[in-house]
Amino acid sequence: MPRSWQKYFIINMQNDKLKETTMNRLTSLIIATILVFTATVATATEWAIDNDHSNAYFSVKHMTVAKVRGTLKDVTGTIDLENGALKNLAITVGVASIDTGVQQRDDHLKSPDFFDLKKFKTIEFTATGITPKTAMQYEVTGDLTIHGVTKKVTIDLLGPSPEAKDPWGNIRRGISISTKLNRKDFGLNYNAVLDNGGLLIGDMVEVELDIEILQPKTN
């Protein structure tokens, strides 16, 4: 075989090996990328709020002299975690569960003067943005709906706590939420003027939630 042909075949073989090596590397890269992406997606887990161990609390000034406190015991929803970090949350609070310790006051709060329970049975919050502050502190922006009015609000969230297993084998975490709201922003305008010129009920409401979440069980 002439040397020119030998040289041609050698160059072609080298090119084929180079193409094969390049394709193998590209295939390996694609497979590795898919595996990493799949692993990342798989770590995102939706935890359910445990209604039996979660409460919402509020306090508001009464007659400018003291605070009245109340509890809403019907708290449900989901918290999404990815490798222990907060990724999303959606919370629903049942207005019918309001309890201030005085039945007459509770009935008034459920009336059209305030929450108007017959028309608006729930308070709902859905996160639209989550900003980590530290490993266990977040600033969460979201849509809050009260009394049929939706406003953009920001809440402070502490957690999630480290995992804990209860006696029945359930994996639990905890989070705490706090914020301040102006009730008039949501159409809760009822008030009365006192003899001294002050108001019966303050406008600003302090809100806190203590929530336990449950990891979904795997089959």
Residue 219 lies in a domain: no
Instruction: Answer yes or no: do 206 and 109 share one domain.
Output: yes
DSSP letter for each residue of the chain: --HHHHHHHHHHHHHHHHHHHHHHHHHHHHHHHHHHHHHHHHTEEEEEE-GGG-EEEEEEEETTTEEEEEEE--EEEEEEEETTEEEEEEEEEEGGGEE-S-HHHHHHHHSTTTT-TTT--EEEEEEEEEEEEETTEEEEEEEEEETTEEEEEEEEEE-PPPPEE-TTS-EEEEEEEEEEEEGGGGT-----B-TTS-BSEEEEEEEEEEEEEEPPPP-
Instruction: Answer yes or no: do 170 and 70 share one domain.
Output: yes
* CATH number of the domain enclosing 126: 2.40.128.110
Q: Tens-digit pLDDT profile for the chain (219 aa)? A: 555 555 554 555 556 565 566 566 655 666 655 555 544 455 779 999 999 999 999 999 988 788 999 999 999 999 999 999 999 999 999 999 999 999 999 999 999 999 999 999 999 999 999 999 998 999 999 999 999 999 999 999 999 999 999 999 999 999 999 999 999 999 999 988 877 767 789 999 999 999 999 999 876
> Into how many domains does the chain fold?
2
Query: Could you list the residue range(s) of the whole structural domain that residue 153 is in?
Result: 45-214
Instruction: Answer yes or no: do 57 and 86 share one domain.
Output: yes
Residue 1 lies in a domain: yes
